[in-house]
């Protein structure tokens, strides 16, 4: 704008001091106003950029913090999964061990049961053999007593005293 006014003044060949001073003041005022507006716009843009930069920095800081927290949580999750896996493996191992031990105990008990049953049968056979032998002897004795009793009864039934005394 200054160059336009200067050209206008130079072309008109009029150098009126009041016009010149008035033009310079208007020009200065106009330049000051435009400069101030430009500076205000620039300052506003700069402040916005600074605010954006601050917000970005805050977001970056928040993001970094969240990433760190997520990392910690992921690590905890991994540790918990490993512990769960370990517990499951131990449980499975113990189940196998318990099943194996009970199988062994069952085998031992089955063998003991068979042995005890066999011993019982043998003892039963031995006792029954002895008892049957005793029963035969008792029956033989009983038969002998019955025969003697029968003879005695026959003798007592005899009316003839001589025959009774003879026997």
**pLDDT tens for residues 128-153?**
999 999 999 999 999 999 999 999 88
Four-CA torsion 54, 59, 61, 62, nearest 10 degrees = 140
Quick check: helix, strand or coil at residue 13? coil
Q: Is the pLDDT of residue 42 over 90?
A: no
The rounded distance, in Å, linking the Cα atoms of 52 and 39 is: 19
Residue 166: pLDDT band with limits 50, 70, 90: low
Instruction: Considering only residues 74 and 164, tell me which one the structure prediction assigns the higher pLDDT.
Output: 74
Q: Is the dihedral of CA 148, 150, 151, 152 positive or negative?
A: positive
* Residue closest to 50 by CA, chosen among 42, 36, 116: 42
Model-level pTM greater than 0.75?
no
The domain spans of the chain are 53-166
Range with the poorest average pLDDT among 27-36, 78-87, 91-100, 126-135: 27-36
């Amino acid at each position: 704008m200054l160059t336009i006014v200067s050209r206008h003044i130079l072309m008109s060949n009029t150098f009126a001091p009041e016009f010149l001073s008035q033009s310079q003041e208007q020009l200065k005022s106009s330049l000051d106003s435009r400069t101030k507006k430009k500076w205000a716009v620039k300052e506003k843009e700069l402040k916005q950029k600074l605010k954006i930069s601050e917000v970005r920095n805050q977001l970056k800081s928040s993001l970094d913090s969240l990433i760190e927290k997520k990392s910690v949580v992921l690590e905890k999750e991994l540790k918990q999964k490993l512990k769960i896996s370990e517990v499951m493996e131990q449980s499975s191992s113990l189940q196998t061990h318990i099943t194996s031990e009970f199988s062994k105990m069952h085998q031992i008990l089955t063998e003991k049961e068979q042995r005890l049953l066999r011993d019982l049968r043998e003892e039963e056979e031995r006792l029954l053999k002895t008892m049957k032998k005793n029963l035969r002897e008792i029956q033989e004795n009983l038969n002998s007593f019955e025969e003697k009793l029968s003879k005695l009864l026959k003798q007592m039934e005899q009316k003839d005293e001589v025959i009774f005394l003879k026997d």
